[in-house]
A and B are shown apart, each in its own frame.
Chain A
Amino acid sequence: MRESRRFPGRRLVAGIPALWLALFFLIPFLIVLKISFSEARLAIPPYAPLFSWLHGLPVPQIHLSSYAYLFTNPLYLRSYLYSVMVATISTVFCLLIGYPMAYAIARAGEAWRSFLLMLIVLPFWTSFLLRVYAWIGLLQNDGLINNVLMSLGLIRHPVTLLQTDFSLYIGIVYSYLPFMILPLYANLEKHDPALLEAAADLGARPLRAFLRVTLPQSLPGIAAGSLLVFIPVVGEYVIPTLLGRTEQIMIGRMLSDEFFDNRDWPVASGVAILILLLLVVPIVLLQRVERRELEGVEGLEGET
C-alpha cells in the first residue's frame, strides 16, 4: 500500500532486533525450561546432560525431580504465596498513593506539570540500589525515624522497623511508585474536562462525578500501572534482601539462593518456570493494555 513496502532494507530493520531478542530473550527461556527437567549433578555445568544418544539420535532426558522437590517442600509454596501477597498489597498501596498524585499533576497548570513530572521521574534515574539503601539509614533502630519519634516523646524505646513487613512495603512502594504514576498520568492527562463540567451541570457532586466519569475512564491507566508494579515485584530480589524479614523470604531470593548457595541449577530453573507460569497472564494483559494506551492502533491489523 505504501512505497516503502518495496524497500528491501525493511527486512533488516525489523529482523536484526528480532534476531537479537530471539537469541538473548526467547532461547534462554527454552534453556531454563529444559534444565528445569534435568537433575543436579556434581559436575560442570552442574546438571545431568539434557539428551542421551541412542542410535545416533538425541533422546531428551526428562527428570521431574526438581518439580517433585518444589511441590513437596512447603517452604517453596509458602514463599510463592507470600510473594504473590506482597506484590498484591504493594500494588494496592502504590495505586492508593499514586492515583491522587497523578491526578494532581494532570490537573496542574502547564508550567507546573513538566516540573512535577521531572520530580517524579528523577528518582527513577538514580540508582535503585542506593535509594533502597537510604531507607536502612532511616529505619534502623538508631535511625532517623526512631530518633525523631523518641525526641517527640511518642515512643520511649526504639521500635524495630527494619527487616519487618513494614520496611519491605515501604521499600517496594517507594521504588515502584513512579511506575504507577506515569501510566496513570498519561491516561488522566487525556481526559476532557468538559465531561466533568457536563456532569456538574447535570447536578452531580464532585465525588459522584469522579466515581462515574473520571474513574471508569482511567481504568486502562490503572490496569497498566498495576501490572507494571505487580509483575516485577513478584520476583523482586534486592528490596526483600535488604529490608525484608529474614525468616520469610520471597520467591526471587529463593531462586537466587538455590542457584548461588546450593548450586542446584535444575531447582533454580524450576522456580523460574513456576514464577513465569504465574506471570504469563499478567504479562499478556499488560501488552494488551499498552497496545491500546500507547499505540492506539486498533485499526492496524485491518490495514493489510
Chain B
Amino acid sequence: MRTRGLFSRTALVLGLVFLYVPIVSMIVYSFNNSRLVTVWDAAHSPTLKWYGVLFSDGEVLDAAWLSLRVAVCAATASTILGTLAGTALARFGAFRGRSLLVGMTTAPIVMPEVISGLSLLLLFVALEQAIGWPRGLGAITITLAHVSFCMAYVTVVVQSRLAGFDESLEEAAQDLGARPAKVFWRITLPLILPAVLAGWLLAFTLSWDDLVISQFVAGPGSSTLPMVIFSKVRLGVSPDVNALATLMVSMVASGVVIATVWMRLRQKRRERDMQLAAAANL
C-alpha cells in the first residue's frame, strides 16, 4: 500500500513539474534583457523592456482589441445557448431529438479544429452566395464560429451542475403555483448561477485563445491576437511574446485564485448560517 502511494505521488509531483516548467521559464525570460531568449543577461536583467515593446506594438494592440470584442460577444451568446441546451438535457427527461442534441453538443468539443474551421468557412461562403450574408469575413464570422464550439462547453458545465441537484425544489415551486418561466428565474437560475458564470469564463478563454478556427473564418483584413502571436512564433522565439504570455498567465492565475477564494468564503458563510439556524432551532 505504502509503496504504491509513493509511486503515484512521485508521478504526480513530476507530472506537475512537467506542466509548470515551461510556463515558469517563459515568465522568467520575459524579464531578460537579451534579445537571445535563451541567454540570461545578468548585468541588465530583470528589465521591463519587452513589456514596453509589447505596448507600443500597434499590431498586437489592435489584435488584442478585436479578440476581446469577439470573446465577450461569443462568450455571452454561447452562455445563453449553452444554458438553454444544458437545462433541456438535464431537466426535460427523454424528448424527441434528445440524442441528436447530445451528439451536437459533445461533438464540437473533440472535433479537430481544422475540420470545424473549414466547414464553417464553407458555410459562410455558401451563405453569402445564396442570401448575400454575411458580407465578407471578419469579426462577425469569427464570433459566429466561436459560439458553436464554446456553447458545447457551457452545455456540459451547466448540465453537470443541474444533474447534481434533484428537482424537488423546482417541483415544490410548481406545486405552489409558480409558472415554469418563474420557476426557472427564481429557482433554477440561482442554483446554476455559479455554473453559468464558470461557463461564461470558460467560453471567453476558449474564444480568446482560439487560433485555428479563426484563421479559417477571419478573412484577410482581421487578425485576432493568437493569429498575430502565431505568425511571430513561426519566425522564431521572440522575447515580447514571453512578456505577452506572462501578462496572460498572470491574469488567468489571479482570476482563478480570486474565484477560488470567493467560493471558499461563500461556502464558509453558508456553513456558518446553517449552524446559526440550527442553533436557533434548538
Contacts and interface: CB of A to CB of B under 8 A. Distances in A.
A140 B233 CA distance: 13
B233 A136 contact: yes
A129 interface: yes
A31 B126 contact: yes
Interface residues of B, number: 100
A232 B16 contact: no
B93 interface: yes
B13 to A, nearest CB: 9
Contacts of B26: 130, 133-134, 137
B174 A4 contact: yes
Interface stretch (A63-71, A73-81, A101-109): A101-109
Residue in A129, A265, A275, A279 whose Cβ sees the most chain B Cβ within 10 Å: A129
A140 B8 contact: no
Nearest to B245: A130
Given A25-B104, A118-B260, A137-B237, A3 B151 contact: no
A244 to B, nearest CB: 13
A275 B248 contact: no
Interface string A203-222: 00011001000000000000
A142 B234 CA distance: 17
B125 to A, nearest CB: 5
Contacts of B1: 200, 206
A60 interface: no
Interface residues of A, number: 99
A126 B248 contact: yes
A134 B93 contact: no
B94 A22 contact: no
Given A45-B125, A100-B12, A283 B107 contact: yes
Contact of B8 (A4, A10, A101): A101
A155 interface: no
B253 A13 contact: no
Given A137-B237, A242-B233, A128 B81 contact: no
A172 interface: no
Residue in A25, A107, A268, A279 whose Cβ sees the most chain B Cβ within 10 Å: A25
A299 B35 CA distance: 62
A101 B112 contact: no
Contact of B12 (A101, A228, A287): A101
Residue in A22, A133, A200, A295 whose Cβ sees the most chain B Cβ within 10 Å: A133
Contacts of A116: 12, 16
Interface of A: 1-4, 7, 9-10, 13-14, 16-18, 20-29, 31-32, 35, 45, 97-98, 100-101, 103-105, 107, 114, 116, 118-120, 122-123, 125-131, 133-138, 140, 142-144, 147, 174, 177, 200, 206-207, 210, 227-228, 231-232, 234-238, 241-242, 252, 255-256, 259, 265, 268-269, 272, 275-276, 279, 283, 286-287, 290-291, 294-296, 300-301, 303-304
Contacts of B125: 45
B237 to A, nearest CB: 5
Contacts of A14: 84-85, 88, 92, 95, 97-98, 101
A134 B269 CA distance: 41
B122 A28 contact: yes
A133 B241 contact: yes
Contacts of B222: none
Interface in B13-28: 15-16, 18-23, 25-26
Given A14-B88, A127-B248, A134-B245, A275 B115 contact: yes
A237 B12 CA distance: 28
Nearest to A106: B8
Contacts of B84: 13-14, 16-17
